[in-house]
Structure 1
Amino acid sequence: MAKHQEEPALLDEEAPSRYVVGIDLGTTNSAVAFVDTEAAPGQLQSFSIPQIVASQQVEARSTLPSFHYEAAKSEFTTDALKLPWSKRDETYCVGMFARDHGVTVPSRVINSAKSWLSHTGVDRTAALLPWHGASDLEKLSPLTVSARLLAHVRAAWNAAHPDYPLERQDIVLTLPASFDEIARELTVAAAAEAGLKRVVLIEEPQAAFYAWLDKHKENWESLVSPGQTILVCDIGGGTSDFTLIRVRQGEDGKVQFHRVAVGEHLILGGDNLDLTLATYLEQKLTGGGKLSPAEWSTLVRRSRVAKEEMLGDNAPAEMTINLPASGSKLIGGGRQVTITKEEVEQVLVDGFLPGGAIETPLEKRSSGFQEFGLPFANDPAITRHLSAFLRSHRHVLDEEDATAVRPDVVLFNGGFFESTRLRGKLIEEINAWFRPADPQYDLQILDNDQLDLAVARGAAYYGLVRRGEGVRIAANLARTYYIGVGQDDQGRPQALCILPATTQPGEEIDLQERTFRLRISEPVEFPLFVSSIRLIDKAGEIVTVDQEQIRSLPPIRTVLRAKRRSEATEVAVKLHARLTEIGTIELWCDEQESDRKWRLQFDVRSATQTDVAAHVSNREAEGVLDEEIWSALQSNLTATFGDAPTHKPQKLLYTLEATSEMPRDQWPASLLRRIWGELLDLEPGRRRSSSHEIRWLNLAGFALRPGYGLALDDWRVSETWKALQGKVAHNDANCRTQSWILWRRIAGGLSRGQQQAVAQPLILALKALHRRIMTGQGTATFTPSESLEAWRLLGSLELLDVPTKIEIGGWIVDLLGKPKMASARSAMAWALGRLGSRTPVYGPLNLVVSADRAADWLSALYRDAQRDPMDLLAVMQIARRTDDRYRDLSEGERGEAARWLEGENAPVHFARIVREGGALDTEERDQVFGEALPIGLTL
């Protein structure tokens, strides 16, 4: 978990800053507003942000488009992107020019970084943007892009206010209400990277409502009344956020606002409309085919412009969109397509705001937008998401028989609602939901102009609220958090409520009624759950986990260390939890018999990087053996690797199979991990002889494969790494080979750094072997036959960077047909398939080799006359269809691959996966992995 953020500086003993600044770090546009507490107390002002608007031209604008552009070498003059406050010539820019120029060079522009910051399926701190960018640019992480946008704001402010630098002002930074805890921490980290450490957070829908309060500060009490429910509907370029605020009568007679519900995180907004319109236009342009990635990127950006014009107040009847030519067809090769206002209405208005009853459920279909890499909402219907939100939070009403919350008032916010057509259609649908029961129902609309500035202005207003001015919204956590505590009598999982939805930032919750037992020196795991629907559960209450209402999060894990693992014991602890000021959770264990305390950390790795997966299975319960059988197996292991060995290591596997009365490939995962634990305790015994080490390495890798899939596998892999450090005790060929097999088997559980450490000596050795075979020069450290497992290991290391994969793949292509490499031919083909695969086994999509490079590798396999059965598997993986236009080979290349597979009598399923896509069956999955997986585990 990220380090706990200290209490914001505006709450400490320092004097309040002169300025209170609100920053809206938006998906599409960012904005800044402020209050000068000395010159105009309480008066909100917008800060115009100087930015590059054209080459060598800087102008201030009310918003900063959230786009980042990196110039190609010699694309501009040296000072073209220089800003007034910069002392050096820049190679990149953010803002208006980045957005507008990026339309013409889409491979060099980054947008929607905020959506990536909340993307749980990638390493958000890894350099992966632009998702499919030019090969010569510096890729950046979502966190770094966000930090650069904020750094530009900071530099622009400081240039305008040199005596009052932004880093010394009270800053309120906005974020979606539905951001999870990890995205919140990463937002704070981006601000810190930009030099802004004096930051508090506010959710965007609340900020929008604060902006409305400021605008109507003279008469807001006449516009709302106690008992009303206000719906804040905030739809921007990347996300949809729904929030409910109840209007109540305070004890002093004054009106109070209570935020009572927040929706789930939805990556659904203006970007989705752009993609949908672009997809529609692509079909018209190509007659059902697909544009090139470069043409597609251009079309998406031009679709955004068309969407804004055609959904505006004075929309033309039709519009022509031009797509410029590229390559050899620059003259006369462009394409164009005409779209009518009726078509836009049908595709966008009816597609995203369809009619229907409030009971209409969400559709479960898969999102068709793969090419942007973002986890877009499966159902694009905003109306269905809103109705689901209102139904799921019906408990906030006093009426027991209510099927949904009926909002009395709505406040719209976000660029989506700049279109009066979209805004009007959503109002129509909400009225249609509730008028059958109440013909007099008429949704009240709160007036809120300058939607692009409202969130920043509301954030600045909130800064004043923190100083005791203005009207405060009482905002609690709006989510309930639980820890798993076993099962009920019917085998259903149960969970303890540790933070109820009423928890306030900074509040501590003591859970003294229950005692937990933690094992010293061994990892302990608490399954963690969250619900944005069950908002009335109390701290300490035990509930049954209903997957419709409660979803799982990455578990909390800790290890309480002792001097030796053999000293493991249990300690009794009680828990207390704390909600931090930035909206994250700390959980502490207090030992009952001493004053020792331990902080349980969130395992956020599964959400911020892809090399550690959250545990979601129940495989531990499968096939647990009788303790008497385990004792016998344990004795066999001790007799082989213990202090007084009596068994030869060569016969260990046979003995274990005979004792367990089942072949090793039928051993349940729970037994395999138990064998691993015993082997680690007996690790010194592997050093006794080369034979002992060979057997220990082989069995340890077999017992821990694939390095993930069961709770605590990441800890097990870490302990294995600490014990071996990638080295062997007996440096002979057989021991080295077995160590490579072990690391290949558990590669999915290794971190990126560990994979690089394992790979480096092999890369050097294979580079020497390649040179020796190709030129006859130099010396090789091992023979072609010894290289077999080295190739396979490198192919399985999916966290290696793309240039390294390309280098290894190039060596394989060179060596495929060489007679001297015949003994390793099959292993090289297998490795090439993994290196060029369109769908990684466990690695992130940003480390997939380009389609052009993969096509070159396919050609090499076709050309080689020495056919091997592994060639079929390799071709299938390299040409496999994913429906991501950036990963997929062209339709012609996939067709050629499918025909080649059919000509080579490959399994019928191989050609179908290449042509149509689909999942691998069990046998194919095991082939790709390299061997059978433990029973019950999936990749």
Structure 2
Amino acid sequence: MAHAVCAIDFGTSNSAIALPTRSPAGDGVRLVALEAGRSTMPTAVFYAVEGLEPHEEPQRHYGRAAVAAYVEGIEGRLMRSMKSILGSTLATQATDVGAGRSVKYLDIVSGYLRHLKTLAEAEAGQALTHAVLGRPVFFVDGEPERDAAAQAALEAAARAVGFADVSFQYEPIAAALDYEMTVDREQIVLVADIGGGTSDFSLVRVGPERRERVNRADDILANHGVHIAGTDFDRHIELAAILPACGYKGVGPTGREVPSKVYFDLATWHLINTVYVPQRVAELGRMKTFYADLAHHARLMTVVRERLGHALIARAEAAKIAVAEGGQTLIDLSLLGDHGLDVPLDEPQAVGAIGADLQRIVDAADDTLTQAGITREQVDALYFTGGSTGLKPLAEAIAARFPAARRVRGDAFASVAAGLGQHARRVFA
């Protein structure tokens, strides 16, 4: 039975799937390669309706392919953050995807899970019938009935794609399982899961006598989070370091600052395509007289006419990572039409751009302790997971609040899936 088992981390931004393994060397977990050898995939579905005949159904793209189709401007509908509809009335409703087609929100979730299951079965070499799914401590804060409805909806979606037996484990417990395997006494761990869309903190009690428990709800002492994370960092860095080259915060001949809405839209992932609408491009073109530096306006028009908004966000993200790894970088902006145009970014500039967000995240860690009624000194370890914990100033700011706690870094993108895989072995052994 263990070989028919999988574990799914159905995340808000990214998802992963793990297979429990057994070998003479001992039991383990294998992460399934989902895209180009990567073990994680964006939680995204794109319904392509371009050129459809009346009898044809939209073609579905998943993960990075879904994002690429959207960025390329293919006619259709991109669905992201599908997890957020669980527990809401939207779960039972349908949404338009273009060309007169509609699809139920829960069917979107089922379709994505089916895609993950298909990839995992190809790697496992057989059908998978049993699954452990991760779930947040609260799908819906303060509303137990809606929270229960959210889990029931996710379970229904999993069963609809062929899982006969479905179990759940809390995501912070899953993240902490890796650390729990190394401890020889009971400890309190603060799990910091900071990804693309949210920064979540959970205080978890772990220990050798708790490892084999299936129900770990009582081991979660507190859970708190804020909707600030990696994509917010990218936006602020783009506004601070990249978009001034296109006129952001620039002034016109009269000394007045140029209108800023287009720059905020260009730095907000899901609003970028709204800037490419022909009427808006024409309106921006007529704003040339608003700019004292005509080179700024020319670069802005290059961005909107050549649809470079997503490329600029990608450069902001790459610059954030480069600064996190090396302290400084040069951002190549020659795509704006100026050969050799580079702008510098160093750690003080980056921290200055995202400082307010960093403070709110660190404050959320303190709030988690307050909820649990414990002191910082009682925290034995900090467990970092999620892609944005690789940002050194953020990790150090959190760690500075807990100087006596041991720092532990899990897999930035797959620790929850791996922990769920360990739990799946225990549940379905």
Q: Residues 425 and 147 (structure 1 numbering): CA distance in 2 closer, same or farther, change over 3 Å?
A: same
d(CA) in 2 for partners of 1:384, 1:106: 41
Alignment-derived partner of residue 169 in structure 2: 202
**Among 39, 45, 61, the residue aligned to 1:62:** 39
CA contact (8 A) 2:195 2:386 kept: yes
Alignment-derived partner of residue 423 in structure 1: 395
CA contact (8 A) 1:23 1:32 kept: yes
**Among 176, 185, 196, the residue aligned to 1:237:** 196
**Among 11, 20, 28, the residue aligned to 2:13:** 28
CA contact (8 A) 1:391 1:405 kept: no
CA contact (8 A) 1:27 1:111 kept: no
d(CA) in 2 for partners of 1:209, 1:99: 31
CA contact (8 A) 1:274 1:307 kept: yes
Alignment-derived partner of residue 183 in structure 1: 150
| Residue 34 (structure 1) shift | 1.0
Q: Residues 464 and 158 (structure 1 numbering): CA distance in 2 closer, same or farther, change over 3 Å?
A: closer
Per-residue CA distance 1:154-174 (angstroms, 9 max, x = gap): 222333445x312x2x21111
Q: Residue 174 of structure 2 aligns to which amino acid in structure 1?
A: A
d(CA) in 2 for partners of 1:111, 1:278: 24
Q: Residue 443 of structure 1 aligns to which amino acid in structure 2?
A: A
Matches within 5 A, 1:753-792: none
Alignment-derived partner of residue 319 in structure 2: 309
Q: Residue 199 of structure 1 aligns to which amino acid in structure 2?
A: V
1:445 is the counterpart of 2:413: no
| Residue 460 (structure 1) shift | 0.9
Three-state SS of the structure 2 residue aligned to 1:268 is coil
d(CA) in 2 for partners of 1:323, 1:124: 42
**Among 358, 363, 382, the residue aligned to 2:361:** 382
CA contact (8 A) 1:113 1:142 kept: no
Matches within 5 A, 1:59-208: 59-74=36-51, 91-105=59-73, 108=76, 110-118=78-86, 120=88, 123-128=90-95, 135-136=98-99, 138=101, 140=103, 142-162=105-125, 164-166=126-128, 168=129, 170-180=130-140, 181=147, 182-208=149-175
d(CA) in 2 for partners of 1:272, 1:68: 22
| Residue 22 (structure 1) shift | 1.2
Alignment-derived partner of residue 42 in structure 1: 27
CA contact (8 A) 2:191 2:201 kept: yes
Alignment-derived partner of residue 268 in structure 1: 228
1:346 is the counterpart of 2:358: no
**Among 272, 296, 319, the residue aligned to 2:331:** 319
**Among 463, 478, 492, the residue aligned to 2:424:** 463
CA contact (8 A) 1:233 1:241 kept: yes
Per-residue CA distance 1:579-635 (angstroms, 9 max, x = gap): xxxxxxxxxxxxxxxxxxxxxxxxxxxxxxxxxxxxxxxxxxxxxxxxxxxxxxxxx
Per-residue CA distance 1:223-261 (angstroms, 9 max, x = gap): xx44x421111122233322212356869xxxxx96142
Q: Residues 72 and 112 (structure 1 numbering): CA distance in 2 closer, same or farther, change over 3 Å?
A: closer
| Residue 339 (structure 1) shift | 6.2
d(CA) in 1 for partners of 2:175, 2:96: 30
CA contact (8 A) 1:28 1:112 kept: yes
Count of residue pairs brought into register by the alignment: 359
Q: Residues 322 and 137 (structure 1 numbering): CA distance in 2 closer, same or farther, change over 3 Å?
A: farther
Per-residue CA distance 1:441-464 (angstroms, 9 max, x = gap): 43211242x321211111010012
Q: Residue 456 of structure 1 aligns to which amino acid in structure 2?
A: A
CA contact (8 A) 2:222 2:369 kept: no
Q: Residues 113 and 421 (structure 1 numbering): CA distance in 2 closer, same or farther, change over 3 Å?
A: same
Matches within 5 A, 1:468-487: none
Alignment-derived partner of residue 415 in structure 2: 454
d(CA) in 1 for partners of 2:116, 2:190: 31
CA contact (8 A) 2:351 2:393 kept: no
d(CA) in 1 for partners of 2:15, 2:208: 36
d(CA) in 1 for partners of 2:16, 2:196: 14
| Residue 138 (structure 1) shift | 4.5
Q: Residues 411 and 160 (structure 1 numbering): CA distance in 2 closer, same or farther, change over 3 Å?
A: closer
Q: Residue 4 of structure 2 aligns to which amino acid in structure 1?
A: Y
d(CA) in 1 for partners of 2:105, 2:234: 21
d(CA) in 1 for partners of 2:208, 2:177: 18
CA contact (8 A) 1:229 1:409 kept: yes
Matches within 5 A, 1:531-550: none
Three-state SS of the structure 2 residue aligned to 1:340 is strand
Matches within 5 A, 1:672-683: none
Larger relative contact order (C-alpha < 8 A, sep ≥ 6)? Answer: 2
| Residue 300 (structure 1) shift | 6.0
Query: Percent identity among equivalent residues?
Result: 20
| Residue 140 (structure 1) shift | 4.6
| Residue 309 (structure 1) shift | 3.3
User: Over alpha carbons, which structure has the higher Rg?
Assistant: 1
Q: Residues 423 and 100 (structure 1 numbering): CA distance in 2 closer, same or farther, change over 3 Å?
A: farther
Unpaired runs of 5+ residues, structure 1, are 1-15, 52-58, 79-87, 252-256, 325-331, 355-380, 432-440, 469-939
Three-state SS of the structure 2 residue aligned to 1:445 is strand
Q: Residues 337 and 150 (structure 1 numbering): CA distance in 2 closer, same or farther, change over 3 Å?
A: farther
Q: Residues 101 and 22 (structure 1 numbering): CA distance in 2 closer, same or farther, change over 3 Å?
A: same
TM-score by length of 1: 0.34
Structure in which a larger fraction of residues adopt helix: 2
| Residue 153 (structure 1) shift | 1.3
Three-state SS of the structure 2 residue aligned to 1:446 is strand
| Residue 320 (structure 1) shift | 4.1
Three-state SS of the structure 2 residue aligned to 1:416 is helix
| Residue 301 (structure 1) shift | 6.9
Q: Note the aligned Cα RMSD (angstroms).
A: 3.8
| Residue 207 (structure 1) shift | 0.8
Structure in which a larger fraction of residues adopt strand: 2
| Residue 43 (structure 1) shift | 1.8
Q: Residue 326 of structure 2 aligns to which amino acid in structure 1?
A: N
Q: Residues 260 and 89 (structure 1 numbering): CA distance in 2 closer, same or farther, change over 3 Å?
A: closer
Q: Residues 43 and 237 (structure 1 numbering): CA distance in 2 closer, same or farther, change over 3 Å?
A: same
Q: Residues 103 and 233 (structure 1 numbering): CA distance in 2 closer, same or farther, change over 3 Å?
A: same
